[in-house]
Every structure is written in structure tokens, then in C-alpha cells.
Chain A
Amino acid sequence: MSRIRLLTPSRFGIFGMGTVALAGLLMTACGGGSPSQASPSGAPLVVGVVEARSGASTFYSTETVQAVELAVVQVNKSGGILNRQVTLIHADDQSDPNLSVLAAQRLVDQGAKAILFTSGSASTLQARIVCTQQRIPCIAPTNVNAKIIAPPNNDYVFLVANAGDATVVALVGAIHAAGYKRLAFYTDASATATGTAGAYEQAFKKADPNISIVDKEFVPVAASDATAALIRIRDAKPDVVVMPGSADASIEALYHTTASRLGMQLPVFSTTSLQQPQIWKLAGKTLDGTVYTDNLSTKNSETQKVEKLFHNKYGADAPFIGFHANAWDAVFLLKHAFEAAGTTGDGTAVRNALEKTTGFTSSWGQPGYKLNYSHDRHTGASIEGAMKGIVMRVFKDGKPGPEWSVYQPS
């Protein structure tokens, strides 16, 4: 069952509205839309959201939807899109790719002119055919699987976040910079995590034949103890432990708490999975010193603007993470494309406008990072400087800390 949420400024509060109005001007300018404070008077523009309210994708889907709603409030506050207020409708795929096609089709049947996929990559892969068949633009803000934008049925679907292969390249660069040769892999035993680990292994070996994977530990989901796995890692004598993206936050946290108890002090490199605040809660300060790939830079002023709006709406303690910035950009990319196309009724024209979007100032990545799309490239990561969407950071006091001084992708 889908539901409709009409997002109006009244849900925001007076304090938030003031800040939003100020930042709205800035964001509209950087997003390419035309600034307008007039209330939208046209018929609502319906945007569908495929989300996961249960299952493995729930966490990042929930976080992504939060930022989508925040961005839509902002868009409506600044005049909507082509004088139309944006209305979100939602459909739950329960993290099940088999249900995502139905969810997307239901949204189209209810009048959606564009779809945001916030569930897992596997769901988007299944459901993107609806975008092609119905000829409506679709954006998967946080998905990283490059297959989503590969043929077939890729002509109406777009990515915002860096594709996973870019993260691998960044991590390879970091490992190189640190001079590590003996790697141990640790992640959960889910299909997603083990598949990602395989891709990382190939990338590491291709990048440097001298790098060896001395141990691989895939800990079953729901495990309450990882002592034996960590002792295996310790005995393999690696230079560094690499965590190539856990699907289960608790398994990654379990490494850090167990290592602390065992007195293991091996360097740990992780990926965007460490953006999940639940890991911060579970592992606390045992995360300190871990180097990982983030999307957010402490030095990016665009990030800081969106972060401020986010905290105004969801509270100062609500962690602002890369998923939020990706989702924010997705909404403003849609706004830009609809306005560039000059119509809400021609999905192909909007798709074409998205393909022509270049120099779109991103709210994430290293300072000055731009998103550039083309007919052949439906991911915003620029061909030149693509790696600048990734920021290597170090955990400090149990939270994401400063940029890593040894290496930054370029």
C-alpha cells in the first residue's frame, strides 16, 4: 500500500523556515533552478519514492527518505517546480527486489512523473525497467552498483553517489599510500558483502601484484561473538584489516569491540558502511583510528549548508551522513531537469535534460566537487576528478573525524 505525504512548510516550524528560506536561495542557485519565492499555484507534481520499511535496506532507505522530504520542503518553499508544488508518494518494497517492480509501477499508476529509488541496488536493478517502459526519469540517490546504469533498460535511470568501483579505487590508493601489502578481509556473510569483497580482492590484486589477501573472514549475520574469527586474523599477521562494506552494521561493530577486548591493534580500513550511525553507537570509541571512505568533507561549504538545514529539521543530535547529501542532490537534480525541459509531462525531455546536466555543484565530496552527466554516463561522478567525490576520514572519539592526512583521492 502506498501513502501520500503532502509536505508543506508548516511541518517545518518557524525557526527552520527562516533558515530554509535563506539557504534555499543558496541551494537553488547551486542546483541550477530559478529562485522564486512565489507560492506554486499549478497542479502538484507527483514524485514517487520506492522505499524499504523492512529488511536489509531499511536503514539507508529511511535515512534517504528523510533527506528527500527535507529537500522537497525546500523546493516547495522556493516556488516548487515550474510553478507546481511537489508531492511525494511512497511505495514499500520491503527490501525485496521482486516487489520493487510492483512498487514502482504502482507509483506510476498513481501519477508519479519521476521516481526516486531509495531501497537497495538489487531493487533498483529490477525496477528500472518500469522507468524505461513508462519513459519517466528515475534517480537512485544512494545506490552504488554500476550495473544499474549499464544496458539493458538503463536509458531512464541515473545514479548520484559514487559507484562502488570508485570506492575500490580510493581504498586501493589509500592502501598503497600507507605501504600495506598483507591484507585481511573482514565482513559479514551476506551475499552483498561477500560479493563486494570479491570485487575488492580482484581490484587489489590488479592494482598491485605484491598485495596479498592473507585471510578472509565472513562472519554470519546475527553472530554474537567473533573471537575465533579475530584470532584467525591475528595469526595471519596482516598489515591491515580491510572491511569491504558490511551489510550488517553489528558485525562490523563486533570486530572493533572484540579487537579492543583482545588487545588487537591492527590498522583498519573501511568503506561507506561506516557512515551508519548505528555502528558508532555499537562500537563507540573502539572505532578510533579507523580510516574509511566517506562522502562528506569537513571542508565543503555546500555540505555544511545542507547539514545545517538537516539539523534544523531533525535536531542537532541527528547524524548528518552522506546518504542525506546524495538524496538532497537527487531532488535538486530533478528540479533542475524539469525546469530545463520546461515541462512536467514529457519524461523523455526531462531525461534528456538530466543527461545534459553538467557542472552541478554537489552537496558532498571534496570542496568544489561537481556532478556531470551525459547520454553515455548516467552517474554524476565526473569522468575527470571522479575520485573527488570520496573523502578519506579517520574516526576520532567514536565519531567521523578529520580528513586522513596521508592520502585523499584525486
Chain B
Amino acid sequence: MEPQLFVAIVVTGCFYALLGLAYFLIFRSTTNLNFAIGGYAMFAALAAAYLSAERGLQLAFVIPIAAAATVLLALLGEIVVGRRKAVGELGAVMAIVAYLFVIQQVAGILFGRAARQGPGVFPGASIQLLGVIVPADTVLEIAVTGVFFFVVWVWLIRGRYGRMLRAVGDNASAARRLGVPVERVRILAVGLAGVSAAVGGLFVGPLAGLTSEAGLAYSLYGFTAAVLGGFGSAWGPLIGGMALSILQVEAVRYLGSPYLDYVTLLVVLLILKLRPTGMLA
């Protein structure tokens, strides 16, 4: 494999993994598949690009503002849309997809319809590694993704609320009877999912221009990563994201660009048919 392709796989895989982790956290706490997650990542990326380019804010302000706005968006989605259990599972999925389109429209109005590129932490800086040019932002993305997954994993295993989250995900009624503050745990998980999507969006923003309509594709990629890795372990989305990225990049490399989406959809179909619990069930 060409070394540059390896870099491309890791960069894209980290993004998919962070989106997949957001799916994981919300699913484990609410049993909902939140298809608006791609919209959260898109919103973070465009908010950062807008605040930086149009408002001239420094990165130290841009990142927390964009991340906070994204977390609020995620919480709003959970409060307004995600809890509509009365409408059944299909109704909840339709409501959250509708919420995704609302986010895309709102982002278009707030940040414009033209493609925007987010600000990098180290714009233009790169390092030479084994003859390959690796942007410094890529190194940062890999480090932050690794640390983020490790922290979430430790939190789920050892943290008080992390263990409660697993209990809520396994059986919310039983957890409630045992005194677990189910709603608080869910809000915390959804907020953390918002952070994960925001981090992904903030890293993907500088890679290429993106528009408010990117949310749908991001949701699909994140969902695929989560399903591929499975909802059994916090490491699942990381493995799923990397696997999806490898499949996509190799499909484009050896079959051609159109096969990126074909392979993604084929993977979703195969995994749902053959191993619906994912690789790390």
C-alpha cells in the first residue's frame, strides 16, 4: 500500500470513528439510532469555519464555541425529538432524520450555502515521516481521537456515570427501579456524543470544503462505522471506522471513485445480514 494511502485511511478512519462513537453513546443510553449525528459534525465544522473566517475569532474561542453549539444541538435533538417514544421506533427514526434536515437548513441559513473550509490548528505545517508528508493537523487528529476513545472507555468501565450508562442501556426500567438517574445519564451521554461529533467535525473541516448538505453523508458513514464495529464495546466504533475507511480507500484505489459509496452501502447490507451485532458484539 502506498504510504500516502495509509495516511488517508487513518485520517478518514478517525473521523468515521468519532462519528461512530457518537452513535454508540446515544444508542447505549437511549437505544435510539440518532441519524442526525452527521449533521452535528457538519454544524461544528461550518460554525468553526464561519467564526474564524467571517468573525475573525481566534481558534482558542472558535473551538469551544463551535463545540458548545454542537452539544446544545445534540441535547435539543434528544429533548425535542429523541424522546418521542409515543410515536414508536419508526416515528422516532423519522423524527430524527427530519431533525437532520432541519439542522442542514439552519446551517445553510447561518453559515451560507457555499462550501467553507474550517481552520486548522497548524495550518500548512507538516512533518516528513518515512518519506511521506503528513500534515501536523493529521498527527493531532490521530492523537486526540486515541485519547478521546481511551477516556470514554475508562469512563464506561470505571466512572460512576459510565457504569450507570451501561445499566441504562441494558435495561432502563430496572436501572430506574434501582435508583439510577436515567434521564440525567442519558443527557450526559447525548452531550458526550455531541462532543465526539464536534471533535470529528472540527478535524474534517480543514481537510476540504464542505457545505451544509454534507450532514447526510456523514450520518451514513458514522452509522456504518458504528454498525461495523458493533455496540458491545467503546472500541467498536474505532475498529469499525478504520475498517470502513480501509474498504473505501482501497475500493477507490483499485476499482475507481464511484465505488466509495457502493462499498459503503454494500458493507451496511452485509453486516446487517451476516453479523448485525458488529465485530465487537
Contact = CB atoms under 8 A, between A and B. Distances in A.
Where chain A touches its partner, the secondary structure class is helix
Contacts of A153: none
Given A250-B208, A278-B114, A282-B117, A228 B252 contact: yes
A250 B204 contact: no
B187 interface: no
Interface of B: 2, 4-5, 7-8, 11-12, 15, 105, 108, 113-117, 126, 133, 135, 204, 207-211, 213-214, 216-218, 249-250, 252-253, 256-258, 260-261
B216 to A, nearest CB: 8
Contacts, number: 106
A62 interface: yes
Q: Which of B209, B213, B257 has the most CB of A within 10 A?
A: B257
Q: Which 9 interchain pairs have the tightest Cβ spacing?
A: A250-B209, A228-B252, A227-B8, A58-B113, A222-B217, A250-B115, A282-B209, A228-B253, A222-B214
A231 B115 contact: no
Given A224-B204, A250-B210, A59 B7 contact: no
Contacts of B209: 249-250, 253-254, 278, 281-282
Interface string A50-79: 000010001100100000000000000000
B52 to A, nearest CB: 12
A257 B137 CA distance: 15
A231 B2 contact: yes
A278 B217 contact: no
Q: Which of A58, A228, A250, A263 has the most CB of B within 10 A?
A: A228
Interface residues of A, number: 34
Given A59-B114, A232-B256, A224 B133 contact: no
A165 interface: no
Contacts of B253: 228, 231-232
A221 B208 contact: no
Interface in A219-239: 219-229, 231-232
B105 A189 contact: no
Contacts of B116: 278
B5 A278 contact: no
A362 to B, nearest CB: 27
